[in-house]
Structure 1
Amino acid sequence: MVKFYKNGNEFFLDNQKAILAEEFKNQLLYKTAIKTADLDLSNDNYNLRITKDDKILLVSNVINRPMVIVGDVELVKKLVEIIKKHKLNYQGISANYEIIAEFKKHSEDLLVFHSSLGLMLYYEKPNYQDPNIKEITKDKDQLIPLLRSFFLELNDDIRNKDFEELAETKTSYGYYIDKEIVSFITIGNVYHSYAEIGYAYTKPECRNMGYMQKLLSHVITILQKQGKDVVLLVDNDN
């Protein structure tokens, strides 16, 4: 049985016990449901529940966030069928590894896998380039303040951080608007078969405009042309 909800409030009230129960204790599910509390159901913002016998799968999605999936892995195949049937949009998944692995068995459409442990693995090759994106490693006058803002937003102690060294030792790419960097990504460790993307930041006044997605696609294209898989190190609150 599949049930769609009109908004996040209805979803939370109807599934409150399940969401708060030990087996469904998932902070991201609660946060996403709250974000959809006053949003009407659409292909971008939706909440649904799938049940079969005593099994249950809860799903919440809000635009520009990973789709959160919590519950019984045996119902994931049904979820993929529902997504295709109703043409539901999503840009990633936040779930445990069992759910992600099951999702991959039944769908090849994923761009991003996002685990509850804070790792995201890009699966699709975007082949994307943007003339507004440039390597900014040498543009320290702009990069260093952005690095400071990134760590401050994480409530990280910056007193002992050498931002000059961070700027010099990591390769960074930025999105320029009229010679101003509005968003940046830093490539972390690079290994034989994969590379990590760690620091990623967009100025608050420039968020929700798609700059970070363009940066990700651009940098991933560069790394994948070098034969690297790409792993993103992501804080669970992000």
Structure 2
Amino acid sequence: MINGITKHTMKKVYFIPLLCFVFLFQSCFEVIEEVKIKDDGSGHFNFVINFSQSKTKINSVLKMQKINGYVIPSKEEIKNEAAKLEALAQNTAGISNVKTNIDLTNYIFAIDLDFQKITNLNAVFLKLKNSKKISPTIATDYFTFNDKKFIRSQKIPIKALYDKLEKADKEVFQTAKYTSVYKFDSTIKSFSNKNAVTSKSNKAIKLNGSVINVINGNEKIENTITLN
């Protein structure tokens, strides 16, 4: 999941621990998004952002009070924000078994949850956006699943948001990587994103990419997957 947010907003709030690290520590990172969806529409969502390659740099930055105009959160504040995110998701209809994992040794952050319907997952994103007073123009309906068709969309104007960032903030995306994995009970009949690769069982599909290429429109994260 690649979300847009302005620097002005970042100075006011810690959006979520995963994204504040992107801007605060300007480090090499990898985003991993995984959705497992059953034939009945229920499933599991896992989102990870991994800064482990930059942990030495992050440890140094955490000793500072500010960097590039951003206030550096303490480890305790990061944990508190994760707890708020967990509670927000847990209190969303159709969502259960929510767990956040905050590894402040290797700087790997993850959230796991189960959903009854894919619309419940989208509702979590909407609640998070509203809780942080993010612009209503930022869409949150990233996923749909109907009639054996799973769609991962990208409706956020990420290039426009990226262009508003200062040069130093833009640099954090240059080496960032993105991976999406979608798993199903049924086999895959077809898919629209030709950069994606299916598993040997043909019940899973994976897409690897560069975040900056997605921002610039050279790669797409959108995919329409039709099942048998």
Calculate the TM-score normalised by the size of structure 2: 0.27
The answer to which structure, 1 or 2, has the higher relative contact order (CA under 8 A, 6+ apart) is: 2
TM-score by length of 1: 0.27
Name the structure where helix makes up a greater proportion of residues. Answer: 1
Q: Over alpha carbons, which structure has the higher Rg? A: 1
